[in-house]
Structure 1
Amino acid sequence: MPRTIRTLTASEVETLVDWAAGEGWNPGIGDAAAFRTADPDCFIGAFVDGEMVAGISAVAYGTGFGFIGLYICRPDRRGEGHGKAVWDAGMARLGDRIIGLDGVAEQRANYQRMGFVPVYETVRYSGRPAGLPGGSDIRPVMAGDMAGILAYDRKRFPAPREAFLREWLRQPRIALLCGGSAGIAGYGVARRCRGGFKGGP
């Protein structure tokens, strides 16, 4: 059974996102479109007999940074080398860039064997927000804020990502920023997911 590795179509990306939901990752609705806007060929799949058996996203942000995500092998095809094959394709695609990833705890040892080191922990909280405090400088992002957001983000993210952010900040996502006369002090996005919303950059 020969294996084929190739870029995924939009419908195949949705299948990969469905797999992520099946793993309990609660992907954001429309997230894949933002990543494809940033890097149209970032989603890669392994296929056997025309069926996708594994997938990964390998998003290139310019020439210096990339990010790995959605690394999943179909449960009934695990242990056959398909996950490793798609991993290798994603890593090859990103070349000599600095590469980041959000790793699940169960795979931490594998990521470390592949040369990655933990640099931060992600903690997931869930609940109902109490609302914004009165008198805060938090307000919705407007079209005129984009240049300031791009400048703010560039100081905090390892590569420019204008195309991604222009898509990421669009409705129906809820994009807010904090800042007054001194400029932008932060921004965030709440986006609908399969279950509830996620907040983040």
Structure 2
Amino acid sequence: MSFEIAVGSADDVQRMAQWADAEGWNPGKTDAYAFFAADPGGFLIGRLDGEPQACISVVKYGAGFGFLGFYIARPAIRGKGYGIQLWRAGMARLAGRNVGLDGVVAQQGNYKKSGFRLAWNNIRHEGPAPAAPAPAGVILADARSIAFDKLAAYDRTFFPEARDAFLASWISLPERAAMVALRDGELAGFAVMRRSAAASRVGPLFAATPEIAGSLVSALAQKTGSATVAIDIPDRNKAAVKLAGEMGLKPSFETARMYTGADPDVNYAGLFGVTSLELG
């Protein structure tokens, strides 16, 4: 049998999202369009006798960071060595960078063998959409109404590198809403909620306080008409985990955030929900 690895097309990225949904990862319905915009060359497909059977995303950010995701081999080819070939090709594309991933906890040992170290766990919390008003002095607004350079600069305080092309797409695609919190005229929160096959996904969820984070989730749920929500919360942010409990959200899924290098220097205290398990 012939196994070939090549850069995927836009259609292939859509296929990867469908495979992720089949694995129970519940991606946002239009997420793949923003993924492709982030780094069009960062999605690899493994074809066995011409048929797509495996995939991996290896997206480059800036000069020194990369994120690995969408590592999927279709059930029929698992355990036959094709997946590891794709893994090696993906890691070669990110050579010399600090690489992050969000992997299922059961695979931590294998990732460690490839040079990754555990930084924290993301605990997905989900449940009925909460009702939480904005705190006094805080104004909630559509993120698309904010000057993009200000939004991108705020996002950069929570992410290792600039990701402007991804961010511009992430806030403007259909079947989602993006909001910011303003306090004394300055950004004090930013969140996106997108419709999914199951609970609507929230990510990112950045905020100066738990109260602001909760109000953003509530406002986004109202705006999108979402009855249930899901947030991937870093367990290193104890205030975020506590907030999820106060909102009545329950743990449902867990992934391990791992890096090949040091933990990036970002604002972890304000990181209440990661943007995406696929792209960081």
TM-score interval (norm. to shorter): over 0.9
Instruction: Return the alpha-carbon distance in structure 2 between the equivalents of residues 59 and 103 of structure 1.
Output: 15
2:186 equivalent to 1:183: yes
Offset at residue 2 of structure 1 (A)? 2.2
What whole-Å deviation, never above 9, does each CA across 1:121-168 have from its counterpart, x for those lacking one?
111111121234154433221333322111111122111101110001
1:100 aligns with 2:103: no
Higher relative contact order structure (alpha carbons within 8 Å, sequence separation ≥ 6):
2
Counterparts of 2:132 and 2:173, CA distance in 1: 20
- The structure whose residues are more often strand, as a share, is 2
| Pairing partner for 1:149 from 151, 171, 179 | 151
Contact 2:182 2:189 in 1 (8 A): yes
> Counterpart amino acid of 1:181?
D
Query: Which deviates more from structure 2 when the two are superposed, residues 133-142 or residues 60-69?
Result: 133-142
1:25 equivalent in alignment to 2:25: yes
TM-fit CA distance, 1:171: 4.1
- Given that residues 178 and 185 in structure 1 are in contact (C-alpha distance below 8 angstroms), is that contact kept between their aligned partners in structure 2? yes
Asked if residue 197 in structure 1 is aligned to residue 200 in structure 2, the reply is: yes
Distance 1:78 1:117 in 2: 25
Matched, 1:52 2:43: no
Task: Give unpaired runs (5+ residues) of structure 2.
Answer: 205-280
Does 1:168 find its partner at 2:176? no
Question: How many correspondences in the alignment?
Answer: 201
TM-score with structure 2 setting the length: 0.68
Post-superposition CA distance 1:154-186 (Å, at most 9, x none) = 122111101110001114321111122251112
Q: Which amino acid aligns with 1:194?
A: A
Q: Does residue 116 of structure 2 align to residue 113 of structure 1?
A: no
Residue 63 of structure 2 is matched in structure 1 by 63
Q: Is the 8 A contact 1:35 1:42 kept in 2?
A: no
1:14–1:75: structure 2 CA closer, same or farther, 3 Å change rule? same
Percent identity reads: 42
Superposed CA RMSD in Å reads 1.5
> Where in structure 1 are there 5+ consecutive unaligned residues?
none
Please report the TM-score for the alignment, with normalisation by the length of structure 1.
0.94
User: What SS class does the counterpart of residue 152 from structure 2 fall into?
Assistant: helix
Amino acid paired to 2:41: D
